[in-house]
A and B are shown apart, each in its own frame.
Chain A
Amino acid sequence: MISQPTSPQLIEAACAELSSKVAPFVTDPAARVVLDMTVAVLQGVARRSANELAWMREEADGIEEVARQFVADLPEAAALASALQAYLDAKSDSRYLADALAAYERAGEVLSCAIEAAYADGDAERKATVRRLIDERMANENAVIGQYVGVGRG
């Protein structure tokens, strides 16, 4: 396969052309909003395509570590134990995006159950721990979109 230019570089090139050579000629306001939204989405896709496999794995590893500790400390957290087991049973080293996404989904459910276990237990430190995982997830989300600006609002 052709590896250079990279996917992000190709997408950035498309965005640059759309912004500089197409946008000035779009006079229909509704079409212009769609074009601006398209460019915003593509710019995010460029950043995402460069990082998403690594981010998903890093987040999942962090969730697994916390979940293992919670399961050990909170024997009543049955939903968390079950979600963690499902995640571990299906864990693989596949490098295909679909497999990575499926693993990330399972890790997401583990995190959701860990959150609910932390709040059911009420321990402030555990609440802070799940909040840190949420913050790490959101840091990656934010890296994708940059600053959110509502295109076309006014």
Chain B
Amino acid sequence: MTDTTDSRARLEEFFRRRSDDPASVTVTEYEVITGGYSRAMARVWVEDATGRRGYVVRSDPPPGQSIIDTDRAQEWAVLSALHESGMVPLPPPRWFDATGAELGSPAIVMDLIESESLLSKARREVTDEPDLAMADQLGATAAGVHTFDVAVLPADLERPTSWDDYIDQRIQRWVDAERAHVSSDPVMRYVASWLRDNKPPPMPLGLVHGDFQMANVLVDQNGDYVLIDWELTHIGDPREDLGWGVLGLALQAPEVVLDDDAFYTRYRERTGFTEEQVNPATVAYFTVLGADNVFLSVMEQLAGVATGATTAMMVAYMSNAVVGMHNEFMKAIDLNEAIRSGAR
């Protein structure tokens, strides 16, 4: 089902154009990466006269085949700025086919890192006891992103004017998206009303990864954590990442027990944020608010199935994911209210 022959041929040409010895360049292996729901991904191994190297190719799938529509040019600009800074661990970005003229669709090529995802590792090593070391390291990784100097990020990355305006705008997106959707979803309107009614203390806005979850954390051969999948990166409230991480854990690895105290303590020490700002209740708030980037995109793509614009099963399947996310929103709301009322 995957047209690997055409992809391999295009890639071979792509790498030859970037080689000092084009005749020696061969794509020896090409492997589609499954598990992501947005971009088309593949691992590629290339040999030339100087040796063998691995890359990851991250490209736009055909229209109607993705659950999220994002901009590769912006992702490339962010990746380049982050890599150049040397402050955030990510696979080195190498090349960008902005138009898709060479690779068939806009695509980013980055170094392949010998690693496994933290999600796979956690599932493999799961125990009944909270994983203190993992919580600690994950907290440090998040802190590294959230204390990054946003001044060095691309100038066209939107800078919100204030925390209040930013949060109000994010809440309004839920209402606007529901009204524009092909069918009513009162859960979205409930979420918006609840978010307006329960705003947490403000915080300095900063770099937000946008899809901070265990599946997007790679553990390299030294045991270091490396972050991938920066397509939803923006400047916002750092608690969005923490909230989204909690949601991902609940949906994808509920059997993995992280230690909240270890995570939050380490995170607050590294960021300087206060306990009033960052705690399980405020993070639960952002589990709901911060889900809009993915959830609203999913709803938009799902509408394509209802209108007949797409028959992609990846998109149709998101009708199940929407239910799973509804559940997590309500759990987060209940948790936030329980903590604030002193019931927990």
Chain A residues with CB under 8 Å of chain B are 28-34, 37-38, 40-41, 44, 101, 105, 108-109, 111-112, 115-116, 118-119, 130-131, 133-135, 137-138, 141-142, 144-145, 148, 150-154
Contact = CB atoms under 8 A, between A and B. Distances in A.
B194 interface: yes
Interface in B102-119: 117, 119
- Considering residues B186, B316, B317, which has the most beta carbons from chain A within 10 angstroms of its beta carbon? B186
A37 B317 contact: yes
A142 B323 contact: yes
Contacts, number: 107
A141 B186 contact: no
A153 B326 contact: no
Interface string B155-187: 000000000000000000000001000011111
Contacts of A119: 193-194, 196-197
Interface of B: 1-2, 32, 34-35, 37, 117, 119-120, 123, 178, 183-187, 189-190, 193-194, 196-197, 215, 251-252, 313-314, 316-317, 319-321, 323-324, 326-327, 330
- Considering residues B190, B314, B323, which has the most beta carbons from chain A within 10 angstroms of its beta carbon? B190
A105 B182 CA distance: 10
A78 to B, nearest CB: 16
A interface SS class: helix
A40 B320 contact: yes
B interface SS class: helix
B184 A112 contact: yes
Given A29-B32, A31-B2, 6 more contacts: A33-B34, A34-B1, A105-B184, A150-B252, A150-B321, A154-B123
B204 to A, nearest CB: 28
Contacts of B35: 152-154
